[in-house]
Copies of this chain bind each other. A is one copy, B any other.
């Protein structure tokens, strides 16, 4: 793994479009919402982030032959779900984090009650982002239904929320490789996989192609989480934008925590290589390939 990887050139302009789309979506959807809820919602969503999931959706959309520039509206939906997972993850009853993306966490700044409500408001907003994007992209009702099914399945009990709870339950005890992978699949890989799949669905990909995108997304998500855990352990707080070493403090179930750094790096390389194999099965797409390599090789 490279110690540092140059960011692909297209990422920054794509990110700018994502920021603009998120801002425009919130401006529209939060009209009339009390400021006590609108302010922490904006804070949670618009805090600086890598925007990996919406970038993946957009790149997968192009890889599957899609060409609409407005796919960025759809891409907002997966970032909204991700933002909500971060708000809930940081709560005192979960990881009890005070710093996120370099700023005080939502509950530190606005209180625990509002933070719970922000999390709860983001899921319906994410579904509404899909509904709204259907108009701007020009998606039919069947495609819209498939997108909503993909996002909700990845977000709920069988996906992200289930994984978060498993993660919480695993704190402070020793878990095996299989259980750890199941935690990572739920809390991280399912939403990354859905992001990739949704890009394909919006481009009109058939079931078989969507299934290939999903498999690639799952592997990429697992590699992403393994690298994240390694970075948490050896990273510094400023680079990460969150407290480093928190996993150790909480005795979280992670690869380096369970198997040591050297073995964790071996596992992370294996997962990255599995993701690369799945990628090779997909149609050629410069953006998706560059983005995947960037994610797999990132060191910060």
Interface residues, chain A, with chain B CB atoms under 8 Å away: 29-30, 32-34, 36-38, 41, 84, 88, 91, 93-94, 111-114, 116-117, 119-121, 123-125, 127-128, 131, 134, 140-142, 144-145, 148-149, 151-153, 155-159, 161-162, 164-166, 168-169
Contacts and interface: CB of A to CB of B under 8 A. Distances in A.
Contact of A123 (B32, B123, B148, B165): B123
Given A34-B166, A93-B113, A131-B149, 5 more contacts: A41-B157, A88-B117, A116-B116, A124-B152, A141-B142
Tallying the copies of this chain within the complex gives 2
B165 A37 contact: yes
Contact of A88 (B120, B128, B152): B120
Nearest to A40: B165
Contact of A161 (B88, B120, B134): B120
18 contacts: A30-B157, A34-B165, A34-B169, A84-B120, A91-B113, A117-B168, A120-B120, A121-B161, A121-B162, A123-B123, A123-B156, A124-B151, A124-B155, A124-B161, A127-B127, A131-B145, A134-B145, A145-B145
A202 B168 CA distance: 39
A204 B96 CA distance: 48
Given A116-B93, A117-B88, A131 B157 contact: no
A161 B113 contact: no
A240 B121 CA distance: 28
Contact of A117 (B38, B141, B165): B165
Contact of A33 (B37, B121, B162): B162
